[in-house]
Amino acid sequence: AEAEDGEMAQRIAKHRAERPTHWQTLETPQWVGAAVAAVDPTAYEVVLLDCLTMLASNVLLALPEAVDAQTAEDALTAEIEALLAVYERTASHWIIVSNEVGLGIVPAYALGRLYRDVLGRANQRLAAAADTVLFMVAGLPMKVK
């Protein structure tokens, strides 16, 4: 997340302070696959991406306002494929957090519907590549795969 106001800056600072001190953290709003590849992910036992939902939002909001659905889909797909390319080169255990935004009502505005659709397909792509998929409900894990 990026701090657009004081309240968000405080939230980010709180999250940073709550992280274990031994974690090596890489914060990047986009091009996460390239950023992770640049720090040699093979050196890590665990790679945690928190979260795909925010990454998808950042990708879509960086596009021109009148973008068509296919261009948006292609932009997020490129991010996902870059992540998967790094994932496939490592023996690291990856944990990717995402939200299931398709469970609610259909958004009333076009960007919201586009976001819901492309994030849903990104979640499907990552789930297909994953060994295990968990769906968290009220803090309890439900094994999907």
Would you please indicate which residues are annotated as catalytic (active-site) residues? 15
Nearest Cα residue to 119 out of 64, 75, 53? 53
DSSP element (H, E) containing 145: none
**Can you tell me which residue has the tokens 């935004």?**
101
Query: Length of the chain in residues, anyone?
Result: 145
- Alpha helix segments (H runs only) across 31-109: 32-38, 52-61, 69-88
* 3 close to 12: Cβ distance less than 8 angstroms: yes
